Structure 1
Amino acid sequence: MPLWSWLTVALLLLVLFASLSASGALLAPLVGEAAGATDYLHELAHDGRHLLAVPCH
């Protein structure tokens, strides 16, 4: 497989991990408490988390 396909797979896995991570927990070390207040990625993927049976409450 070409290198670009491996990089694409790695990027997609990283996005999947970020979407399924706990609310604010992934970005908290980088941006502090603002991660919880501005956690748009979690809210955007919230229904998908339920669809995939990922516990989040």
Structure 2
Amino acid sequence: MAYSAATQTDVSLPTIPLGEILPWAIFGGLLLMLAIYFVGAEQGATALFKGMYVHEFVHDGRHLLGFPCH
């Protein structure tokens, strides 16, 4: 079985400057820290909201991520 020579094309990946991605990375990190706070610590000693609404909303997420809650 004879193989024919395939044409080779150069593929170049686009580059993303750090200055463009850094603000989005910081924003995403802040959102992640806020989500971790609400899942892990809200309704405890540092509660921002009165009542158990936030706790009940993220209750299953606490168990899934291994945070103790009761």
Whether the TM-score (by the shorter chain) exceeds 0.5 is yes
Matches of 2:45 and 2:29, distance apart in 1: 23
Shift of 1:27: 2.9
- Report 1 or 2 for greater relative contact order, CA contacts < 8 Å, sequence distance ≥ 6: 1
Q: CA RMSD in A?
A: 2.2
Matches of 2:42 and 2:22, distance apart in 1: 33
What residue in structure 1 maps to residue 36 of structure 2? 16
Gaps of 5+ in 2: 1-20
**C-alpha deviations, 1:33-57, integer Å up to 9, x for none?**
xx1xx33221111011111121111
- Please report the TM-score for the alignment, with normalisation by the length of structure 1: 0.60
Q: How many residue pairs align between the two structures?
A: 50
- Over the matched positions of the two proteins, sequence identity in percent amounts to 38
Gaps of 5+ in 1: none
